Amino acid sequence: MRKEILISSAIFGSFLLISFSIIVILKWDNFHGINDNRVLPLLKHLPSTGERGNISAADGRFLYDMIIEKGYKHGLELGTSNGYSALWQGLAFKINNGTLITVEIDSLIAMEARSNFKKTGLDNIIDQRINDAFVEVVALKDSLDFVFIDTGGRNFDLFNLSFPLVKKGGRLVIHNVHKGDSETKQILKNSHLKTTFKKKFFYNILVSTKKM
């Protein structure tokens, strides 16, 4: 009897270990469940090419999951670069039957992004605009439910400019912020927003939800 109990315990322990290992693997696999064979190669490849200031695959997956979970359909990205973050978002908006506007001021790098959008077939989901983000946002008449800002500078000014365009329940996300910055503290004081942070090793991702 004791031997049978020991064997049963060993089997159960092995089962728990295997289950835990599977959970860990799935958690750290940023591409789990993504089956689009046109988009997937670029999601895996682009972060390792060039000095484009791309977000990480983990951050891209964070945006992707957020958009799908909340059912967002009308997105705006400020700071396209070569389109890596827009591919993550564009794929999510495609699943939600939505669209994404992305704005980049550098025409050369914007052309690189446009090529990537065409390769993946997301060019009918992603409305790419080559313009100064401040000019583009002021001209926008769209009602948005998701805004991602990663321009490398003046992110908080663009946050404030985009805020009125976002519907209640919508979100504004800024990449690479520090909680101690005066601009971050101002956002935390905004009574119309519920702001949280996705903590990374050397920075945070700010997520502000417009209260209902």
Q: For 180-207, write each residue's pLDDT tens digit.
A: 999 999 999 999 999 999 999 889 999 9
Specify the amino acid at residue 167: K
Number of domains observed in the structure of the chain:
2
81 and 8 co-located in one domain: no
Both 51 and 9 in one domain: the answer is no
Say which DSSP state 30 is in: T
Is 89 found in the same domain as 69?
yes
Alpha carbon distance 63, 51 (integer Å): 21
Examine the domain organization and report whether 14 and 94 are in the same domain.
no
pTM of the predicted protein model: 0.86
Please name every residue paired with 103 in a beta bridge, in sequence order, or none if there are none: 78, 129
| 79 CA to centre of own chain | 12
Q: In the predicted model, is pLDDT for residue 23 greater than 80?
A: no
Angle at 130 between CA 198 and CA 166, to 5 degrees: 45
Tokens for 107? 């025409």
The answer to whether residue 35 is domain-embedded is no
Beta strands per DSSP E along 51-112: 74-78, 99-104
Is the per-residue pLDDT at 76 higher than 80? Answer: yes
If asked whether residues 86 and 11 sit together in one domain, one would say no
Percent of the chain with pLDDT over 90: 79
Instruction: Clarify whether residues 89 and 16 are in a common domain.
Output: no
Residues 117, 168, single domain; the answer is yes
pLDDT tens digits along 116-148: 999 999 999 999 999 999 999 999 998 999 999
DSSP track, 144-182: EEEEEE--SS-HHHHHHHHGGGEEEEEEEEEEEE-TTSH
What gap in Å lies between CA 176 and CA 153, rounded to an integer? 10
Q: Residues 83-122: pLDDT tens digits?
A: 999 999 999 999 999 999 999 999 999 999 999 999 999 9
Same domain, 23 and 128: no
